[in-house]
């Protein structure tokens, strides 16, 4: 059995059912927005499905695939699980287990800019991997933030077929584009609705609930070098070290386009106190 649930259905290019600025901040690591997105998704799924037809099997929640750096969905998933666990525990059902879909390829292209064909061409060479034995006899909830063309879902289902998974599966999304007359790059409009330039990241990064993810790392490393140098020197050592370590973990040091900004961090980190020296000093 495979079912899909989306909390919001996008029929309009201007009205989404949620705040576009909040969505943009979420995509760049705003943990406060991630919290209520995840909680709202859990509330909606409980009301629409679980309250009417409870899942009595062990549930496994699986965030969108990633290699080393989590996606924005991962932060939303944490709050989704917490809210879902409260409902499950209150009703005498097993609380959630989690696992990960591993992916093998990273790319610098901005997925949100692409149309359906370009998306499938970009991710079609990727391969997803999961622990099949761990999933036996369990119901799987695959979480993602938004469904635009369904390319990622097709890749997930390709993995399901390749592994011969017989599980009941729910595909859960915070939002889904249901009006196919709207170009898929509406996703980019949402992604950058609040974040218009690198300096708009400052209050997100310095917020109490910042959650680093692939989007913000790639965005910073791919940014105009001069602006990047100004921006990065205003960041604390904890963030700078986190950014550098996440970049290495995803293999971004092997991507030529990221080299100038990544090398600036590497060459200008002070060994003793892990702070950036002033650019040019």
Write the pLDDT tens digit of every residue in 65-108. Answer: 999 999 999 999 999 999 999 999 999 999 999 999 998 766 55
Quickly state the pLDDT bin for 271 (edges 50, 70, 90). very low
- pLDDT value at 280 more than 70: no
Of residues 130 and 113, more confidently modeled: 130
Q: For residue 175, what are the β-bridge partners?
A: 8, 146
First to last CA, the chain: 62
List, as one string, the DSSP characters of 33-81.
HHHHHHHHHHHHHIIIIITTS---SPEEEEPSPBSSSPPHHHHHHHHHH
Q: For residue 62, what are the β-bridge partners?
A: 99, 142
Quickly state the pLDDT bin for 268 (edges 50, 70, 90). confident
Instruction: Give the per-residue pLDDT at 125.
Output: 64
Beta carbons of 205 and 235 less than 8 angstroms apart: yes
Q: Which pTM does this prediction carry?
A: 0.90
For the 2-191 domain, the top CATH level (class) is alpha beta
Contacts of 211 (CB under 8 A, 6+ apart): 29, 30, 31, 34, 70, 72, 74, 75
Please count the other Cβ atoms lying within 10 Å of the Cβ belonging to residue 75.
Answer: 26
User: Per residue in 15-40, pLDDT tens?
Assistant: 999 999 999 999 999 999 999 999 99
Beta carbons of 40 and 7 less than 8 angstroms apart: yes
Domain boundaries, given as residue ranges, for the chain: 2-191, 198-268
Tokens of 160: 């399901």
Tokens of 26: 């979420």
Strands 128-129 and 102-103, by their bridges, are antiparallel
């Amino acid at each position: 059995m495979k079912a899909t649930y989306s909390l919001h259905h996008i029929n309009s290019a201007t009205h989404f059912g949620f705040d576009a600025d909040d969505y943009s901040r979420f995509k760049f690591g705003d943990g406060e927005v991630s919290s209520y997105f995840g909680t709202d998704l859990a509330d909606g799924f409980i009301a629409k499905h679980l309250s009417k037809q409870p899942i009595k099997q062990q549930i496994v929640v699986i965030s969108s695939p990633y290699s080393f750096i989590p996606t924005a969905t991962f932060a939303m998933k944490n709050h989704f699980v917490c809210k879902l666990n409260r409902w499950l525990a209150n009703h005498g059902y097993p609380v959630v287990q989690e696992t990960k879909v591993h992916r093998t390829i990273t790319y610098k292209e901005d997925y949100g800019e692409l149309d359906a064909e370009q998306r499938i061409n970009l991710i079609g060479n990727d391969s997803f991997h999961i622990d099949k034995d761990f999933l036996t006899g369990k119901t799987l909830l695959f979480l993602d933030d938004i469904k635009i063309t369904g390319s990622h879902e097709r890749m997930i289902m390709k993995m399901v077929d390749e592994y011969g998974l017989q599980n009941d599966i729910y595909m859960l999304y915070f939002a889904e584009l249901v009006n196919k007359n709207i170009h898929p790059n509406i996703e980019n409009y949402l992604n950058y609705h609040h974040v218009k330039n690198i300096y708009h990241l400052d209050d997100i990064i310095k917020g109490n609930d910042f959650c680093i993810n692939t989007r913000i790392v790639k965005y910073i490393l791919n940014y105009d070098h001069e602006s990047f140098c100004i921006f990065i020197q205003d960041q604390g050592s904890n963030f700078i070290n986190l950014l550098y370590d996440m970049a290495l973990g995803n293999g971004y040091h092997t991507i030529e386009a990221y080299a100038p900004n990544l090398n600036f961090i590497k060459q200008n980190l002070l060994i003793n106190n892990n702070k950036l020296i002033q650019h040019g000093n």
